[in-house]
Amino acid sequence: MGGRLRVGVLAIQGDVREHARVLTDLGAEVQLVRRPVELSSVDGLVLPGGESSAIDKLSRAFGMQHPIRDAIAAGMPMYGTCAGLILLADRITDGIVGQETFGGLDVTVRRNAFGGQTESFETDLDVPALGDPPVHAVFIRAPLVEQHGPDVEALAALDDGRVVAVRQGVLIGTAFHPEVTGELRFHELFLNTVRATS
């Protein structure tokens, strides 16, 4: 591999290609992950945006739920955007009946906190961990972090204080989609986390 980081993108539903492109552009070797054997070949995993309940059901159908939970417990870095943030949350306030998560982030998340597709919006966010300039963030049927535990770092919040990006150890979650705006710094943060733990 010539020292290149090998990272995965969970590829069972959602905006997989966009994440794979950003990670490749940043110099990583990308593995699309649909099976446990593919998960075992990577040092970090991105959980893309999409439909959290569908990804939950498909992860169980593909036999991926428990391997991902085990990887989180073993300390694998993961980055979840939008639905991926929901999947990393320990708690959901408005999940559909029977909806489960992988867990790992000590947060309570509300799905579709801003409404449906027509309530999508864009804004600039100050993210001290990433420095200047502000992050231009796109929210599409986005979740919101309603509560977080003491070990969770709030990386970004809206002007009204509502938290939309978090980090806990090697897990990162954003309610928005950096992969669609050309914003690379969250993926760089994820890759640096992978590098530090590899």
Could you tell me if residue 96 is inside a domain?
yes
Per the annotation, the verdict on 82 as an active-site residue is: yes
| CATH number where 10 lies | 3.40.50.880
Question: Whole-angstrom Cα distance, residue 15 to residue 2?
Answer: 28
pTM above threshold 0.85: yes
Domain count, the chain: 1
Per the annotation, the verdict on 179 as an active-site residue is: yes
Per the annotation, the verdict on 177 as an active-site residue is: yes
Question: Whole-angstrom Cα distance, residue 185 to residue 24?
Answer: 14
Could you tell me if residue 82 is inside a domain?
yes
Q: What is the pLDDT of residues 7-49, one digit of tens each?
A: 999 999 988 999 999 999 999 999 999 999 999 999 999 999 9
Could you tell me if residue 145 is inside a domain?
yes
Q: In terms of residue numbers, what domain contains 193?
A: 6-197
Asked if 44 and 7 touch (Cβ cutoff 8 Å), the reply is: yes
User: Could you say which of 19, 82, 148, 183 is catalytic?
Assistant: 82
Query: Is 50 or 193 the better-scoring residue by pLDDT?
Result: 193
Q: What is the pLDDT of residues 106-147, one digit of tens each?
A: 999 998 887 766 678 899 999 999 999 999 999 988 999 999
Could you tell me if residue 165 is inside a domain?
yes
Assess whether pLDDT exceeds 70 at residue 2.
no
Could you tell me if residue 109 is inside a domain?
yes
Average per-residue pLDDT in the chain? 93
User: Could you say which of 18, 19, 38, 177 is catalytic?
Assistant: 177
Could you tell me if residue 1 is inside a domain?
no
User: Could you say which of 19, 148, 179, 183 is catalytic?
Assistant: 179
Could you tell me if residue 191 is inside a domain?
yes
